[in-house]
Amino acid sequence: MSAVLNASHTPPPPAAPLHQVSPGLWQLAWRRLKRDKVGIVSLVVVIFFLLMMVGSYTGLVAKNWSKEVGVSYANPSFMAGAENLEAVRTKADANAPKIEPVDLSDIDPLAPRYAEWAERTAKIKTTEVKRAESLAFGGDKWGRDVLQKAIKGAETSIFVGLFAALFATIIGTTLGAISGYMGGKVGDLLEWFYNIFTSIPYILLILAFAAVFASSPQLAAYKGVPMVVAILAFTGWTGIYRLVRSEYIKHASREYVKAAQAIGASDSRRMFVHILPNVSHVCLVQLSQHVVQFIKAEVILSYLGLGVPVDSVSWGTMLAEAQSELVIGKWWQLAAAGISMAILVTAFSMLTDSLRDALDPKIK
């Protein structure tokens, strides 16, 4: 009592909140993540790659990746001067006698306009581009800069990996949540659906989807990267579904869910507001694994001609090209795509690992 009385003489203390708001789940997670050095470094790396992706999409970086600036398989600059047999020109038919091509004018339907043709041709100037002997990180077979290619390739690969994994996780989590939480007839139906998907070998399933997408005239307009994302998302959700379902079965009967039920939380609220944060670590780990898996799967699709078109580039197509280059000692394309992929994939897995730790309410 006295304390109260004393206080009345002093200026009131800084307005204290009426009741302490405890930090939310996400805020706590962020605090925990900040303490994790590895997590922060990984986050920075991932953000860097994402920025690079945006940069290359908007044309800020690697805009001229398709320009042929160097000789065939130009050496990396730190190896400038090394022997490059691929750039040596061999006279293909050195022994062939020099003969003038035969005159076609007696049978050529274009013959009446030969003079005009020659005149117009003379007006067109052709300039020979000087090609560099060495490039920052070497050149590919057409003499394109491998470093720029890797950056441009990152755009496609990350986009495909990230979005396909995201969609697959969303599909898998939603279906898994419904199946695990509801159980009963709905659960059976979804299990049956899941069984259909898993009974078909993965590659065949991808091909079947690809065939459906490619043959539909409405969908064919989205050929290329969006189609790859869709195909991978629609085929890749099964593993996630299964894991999330088992988590939901476990959690559905837990006390906190019962408590939520008791205070009148709806089914969907219980599923996605109460249980989901508690199983989010599973989803996140799956997400990161699938990003990696889908970056690789894009390779298969590109190889089958269903992936990225011939005039664009992804890490997958770079790795495919690298196959035959390695034998002739040209390792830089493999290195560029391989290192970038390794860094991103490692950073991504470590980040999700940290996120898992940060998000799991059981780990304080």
Partner 1 sequence: MKWIKRFFAPNLLAAIAFIVPVISLVASQFASQSQAAGSAPEPAPTKWEVVNQPTPPTTPTAQAVPSAYAPDPKKVLRYAFEIAETGMDPIRISDVYSNIVLGAVYDTPLSYDYLARPLKVRPNTLTAMPEISTDYRTFTFHVKPGIYFAPHEVFKGKKRELVAEDYVYSIKRVLDPENSATQIGEYEGKIIGADDAINAARKTGKFNYDAQIEGLRTLDRYTFQVRMVKPAPIFIYVFTDCRASCAVAREVVEFYGKDFVSHPLGSGAYQLTSWKRASKMVFEANPNFREEYFDGAPTPGDKEAEAILKALKGRRLPMVNRIEVSVIEEMQPRWISFLGGGQDLLWRLPEEFATVAVPGNKLAPNLVKQRIEFAQVPNLDLNYMFFNMKDPVIGGYTPDKIALRRAISLGYQTDDEIRVIRKYQAVPAHTPYAPGVAGYDPNFKTSANEYSPAKANALLDMYGYKRAADGWRNMPDGKPLILKSNSTPTERDKQIDEVWKRSMDDIGVKIEFNKAKWPDLLKASYAGKLMMWQLGGSASTPDAETWLTSLYGPNAGIKSNFANFQLKEYDEAFEAASLLPDSPERTKLYQKMAKLMVAYAPWKINIHRISTDMWYPYVKGFRRPLVQSQSWWKYVDIDVAMQKEFEAKN
Q: Is position 123 an interface residue for partner 1 (rule: CB under 8 A)? A: yes
Q: Out of 9, 19, 37, 89, name the contact with partner 1 by CB under 8 A.
A: 89
Q: Out of 326, 346, 361, 363, name the contact with partner 1 by CB under 8 A.
A: 326
Q: Out of 155, 321, 353, 360, name the contact with partner 1 by CB under 8 A.
A: 321
Q: Out of 3, 15, 110, 115, name the contact with partner 1 by CB under 8 A.
A: 110
Q: Is position 329 an interface residue for partner 1 (rule: CB under 8 A)? A: yes
Q: Which residue number, 34 or 120, has a Cβ lying nearer to partner 1? A: 120
Helix (H), strand (E), coil (C) string for the chain: CHHHHHHCCCCCCCCCCCCCCCCCHHHHHHHHHHHCHHHHHHHHHHHHHHHHHHHHHHCCCCCCCCCCCEEEEEEEHHHCCCCCHHHCCCCCCCCCCCCCCCCCCCCCCCHHHHHHHHHHHHHCCCCCCCCEEEECCCECCCCCEHHHHHHHHHHHHHHHHHHHHHHHHHHHHHHHHHHHHHCHHHHHHHHHHHHHHHHCCHHHHHHHHHHHHHHCHHHHCCCCHHHHHHHHHHHHCHHHHHHHHHHHHHHHCCHHHHHHHHCCCCHHHHHHHHHHHHHHHHHHHHHHHHHHHHHHHHHHHHHCCCCCCCCCCCHHHHHHHHHHHHHCCCCHHHHHHHHHHHHHHHHHHHHHHHHHHHHCCCCC
Per-residue x/- marks for partner 1, 288-317, CB under 8 A? Answer: --------x--xx--xxxx--xxx------
CA within 13 Å, CB half, 140:
26
| Residue that the structure tokens 């986009």 belong to | 159
Q: Is position 74 an interface residue for partner 1 (rule: CB under 8 A)? A: no
Q: Is position 109 an interface residue for partner 1 (rule: CB under 8 A)? A: yes
Q: Out of 249, 320, 349, 357, name the contact with partner 1 by CB under 8 A.
A: 320
Q: Out of 117, 204, 267, 269, name the contact with partner 1 by CB under 8 A.
A: 117
Q: Is position 150 an interface residue for partner 1 (rule: CB under 8 A)? A: no
Q: Is position 255 an interface residue for partner 1 (rule: CB under 8 A)? A: no
# binding residues, partner 1 (CB under 8 A): 61
Name the one range near partner 1 by CB under 8 A: 102-110, 147-155, 248-256, 279-287.
102-110
Name the one range near partner 1 by CB under 8 A: 14-22, 56-64, 324-332, 355-363.
324-332
Q: Out of 63, 131, 141, 274, name the contact with partner 1 by CB under 8 A.
A: 141
Give min distance, CB of 72 to partner 1, in A.
6
The identity of residue 255, as a single letter, is: E
Binding residues for partner 1 (CB under 8 A): 72, 79, 82-83, 85-86, 88-90, 92-93, 96-97, 99-102, 104, 107-110, 113, 116-117, 120-121, 123-126, 141-142, 296, 299-300, 303-306, 309-311, 319-324, 326-329, 331, 334-335, 337-339, 341-342
